[in-house]
Amino acid sequence: MSEDRRADDRQPISVLINAGLFTRGVGGLCRIRNMSENGLMLECRMALDEGQEVEIVLRSGMRLAGIVRWALNGRAGIALHEPVGLATLNQPMLPQEIAKKGLSPSFPCVARALIAIDHRRLRCEINEISLGHVRLATVESIRDDQLATVTVDGLGPQLSKIRIIGGHPVTGEGAESVIALFTQPLHFRLLDEWLSGRGDLPTTLPHPATTAPSTSRPSL
């Protein structure tokens, strides 16, 4: 990389990126408003303190670890522990990853849902949610690729496509997990408010971390 290009990467650029923010056992949505290779400024509902360690999850699944340098009026400046290439920031997940994992960032949860499918109404629980999917914890008599309307308590109905991971594609028996992929994403504010009103988010994240590749070079 040329020195001019590296100098450009050090300068903050204006962005609008929806992301997940995890800290002290709590997870929620945030919006990244500007970023350089070594830090970023975000907006979030969570109260953050100077010196607090955070982890930011991008829609690609990449996770950025950092520390809060300042926080004021719902905004915070984050210094990243490792530099990140700006070109990788807003890359989406691959379709095959979405079919297996759902969309990123996702949040562990415990909530009830109602599934309307084939003139049937099924009660179930969900254990994960994102702007684009829910993971179903308990469900029976559901098939892969079916269209269903999923209504999570506290959220509106969402037309969804069912994806069965592992197990029998018709009965779902032996499935590793069942995901309902929304045909249209939830509104950011709606999910943000829903998550902020819940206290059941566990400290662990739902999928193994994908850390940002370092763009630093050894000194000559």
Q: What string of DSSP letters covers 134-163?
A: EEEEE--S--TT-EEEEEETTS-EEEEEEE
Amino acid, single-letter form, for residue 11: Q
Query: So what's the pLDDT on residue 102?
Result: 73
pTM: 0.78
How far is 77 from 98, CA to CA, in rounded Å?
Answer: 30
Average pLDDT over residues 15-33: 93
Longest dimension (CA), the chain: 68
Question: Which residue did the predictor score with more confidence, 109 or 215?
Answer: 109
Per residue, what are the HEC states of 192-206? HHHHHCCCCCCCCCC
Domains of the chain, each with CATH number or no CATH: 3-92+206-211 (2.40.10.220), 95-186 (2.40.10.220)
Average pLDDT over residues 62-72: 95
**Could you read off the pLDDT of 101-147 as tens digits, one per residue?**
678 899 999 999 999 998 899 899 999 999 999 999 877 778 888 99
Query: So what's the pLDDT on residue 60?
Result: 84
Per residue, what are the HEC states of 32-64? EEEEECCEEEEEECCCCCCCCEEEEECCCCEEE
Q: 3-class SS at 183?
A: coil
> 35 pLDDT exceeds 70?
yes
Task: Report the percent of the chain where pLDDT is more than 70.
Answer: 73
Backbone angles phi, psi at 99, to 5 degrees: -60, -30
